[in-house]
Amino acid sequence: MTTTTTTPGPVTRVRNAARANWLFIALGAVAVVSLVRIVTDTNDLTSVGTIRAAIIATCPILMAGLGGLWAERAGVVNIGLEGQMVLGTWGAAFFTYHSGSPWVGILGAALLGMIGGLLHAIATVTFGVDHIVSGVAINLIGVGATTYLAEATFTDLEGGGPRQLIGLPTPTTIDRIPGISGSAADLADKHWFFISDVASFVAALTTKISLLSLVIFALVVASGWILWKTSFGLRLRSCGENPQAAETLGVNVYLYKYVAVLISGAMAGIGGGFLALVASSGFSTNQTNGRGYIGLAAMIFGNWRPGGLLAGALTFGYTDSLRLRDTHAVHSLLLLVAVALIAITVLRVVRRQIAGAVAMAVPGAALLVWFLSTDSVPRDFTSMTPYVTTLFVLALGTQRLRMPAADGRPYRKGSAG
């Protein structure tokens, strides 16, 4: 009797190593934040309230980034995410008000975002319009259309006006999970190193969290599985890498690009719906505040992959939530960023990347001096933290990025021949 043993192939080993690296980075990040919390005596850095606010701030950014991921993996640059999110805010408010169900409102948000995606697909895929030009046009159309629609449909409604609609029902909220929520909150209140910080995450994810937030995180996992584990995903990604080769293998490139951009618009629309029904007390015009662009930045930071996108969106959401707490928390963030930059500096010195090390050392030292020489930051600066973080993350994320090879390039059927 013979037995056959199988050993993991090179691809499997690389994937396992990548997962281990992400786990190590996540645990290391929590440990660093915990250390900064103790040194600065700023327990608000990882309090349950801060983490809950970070989750709320992360979700719309995450959906915008996920929309960008679907489109760009098929080779279509979707700068119009902001406009599609704006359309989603109106769609969520309109359908929620007239149906009485926030879940119907979310479907309406996805529909309005999908309409924006359809316009972008017609312009870029069918007529070959430059992707950036089309995306900017979609953003302008989104803002103009929602302003007009809000004035036309919400002015005479209860709780409505020409620029808003409040008092809408919200998606189901999970108040607590018996045996987990209370224990995690108790551990978080002890302010122990690392353990209490992890407990804060558990408590925030199991106490007073919107079910829509969990649906959004599930969509990230589902998107990763569909795009990388199914034949449909393989064909779609081939359209973003080499559409001519995909065409020779019988792939309908136009169809896959259309599907990807429609899904992209729907994802962005859901992000807008989250803003109107969960993150805010209702709809108001232009309430996205650049989150579509930040989502695009998170996608680039994540190297066009769901795991990296999630890390980038959480970073932006976390800094956005801190500015809503107090200036002392943002002041402590200076030390956190300085430590991160110094750590990257050391890593690049070890790798003999001297120019890169200097580029990280200078701002790291400047932030450290700023932290040590002050007790707080100007309140006006706190409102800038998510946008400063965007620039900071993009500066770091430009290393070792690989966008889809045919992303943004024009394609015409029959060009393979």
At 186-241, the pLDDT tens digits run 999 999 999 999 999 999 999 999 999 999 999 999 999 999 999 999 999 999 99
- What's the pTM value of the predicted model, to 2 decimals? 0.91
Query: In the structure, what pLDDT confidence band is assigned to residue 381 with cuts at 50, 70 and 90?
Result: confident
Q: What are 122-131's pLDDT values in tens digits?
A: 999 999 999 9
Give, for 283, the enclosing helix (H) or strand (E).
strand 282-284
* Three-state helix/strand/coil letters over 98-126: HHCCHHHHHHHHHHHHHHHHHHHHHHHHH
- Residue 3's pLDDT is what? 47
89: amino acid identity, one letter? T
Q: Tell me how far apart the 2 most distant CA atoms of the chain are, in Å.
A: 82
Nearest to 341 by CA among 393, 385, 295, 401: 393
pLDDT digits (tens, 9 = 90+) for 78-133: 999 999 999 999 999 999 999 999 999 999 999 999 999 999 999 999 999 999 99
Q: pLDDT of 11-41, one tens digit each?
A: 566 666 666 777 777 888 888 889 999 998 8
Compute the half-sphere exposure of residue 239: CA atoms within 13 Å on the CB side of its CA: 31
Split at pLDDT 50, 70, 90, the class of 4 is very low
11: Cα separation from own chain's centroid:
27
Question: Mean pLDDT over all residues of the chain?
Answer: 88
Contact in structure between 91 and 159 (CB atoms under 8 Å): no
Residues 6+ apart with CB under 8 A from 324: 53
Q: What would the pLDDT profile of 43-85 be if each residue is shown by its tens digit?
A: 888 899 999 999 999 999 999 999 999 999 999 999 999 999 9
DSSP 305: S
Q: What is the spatial distance between Cα 108 and Cα 16, in angstroms, rounded to a whole number?
A: 39
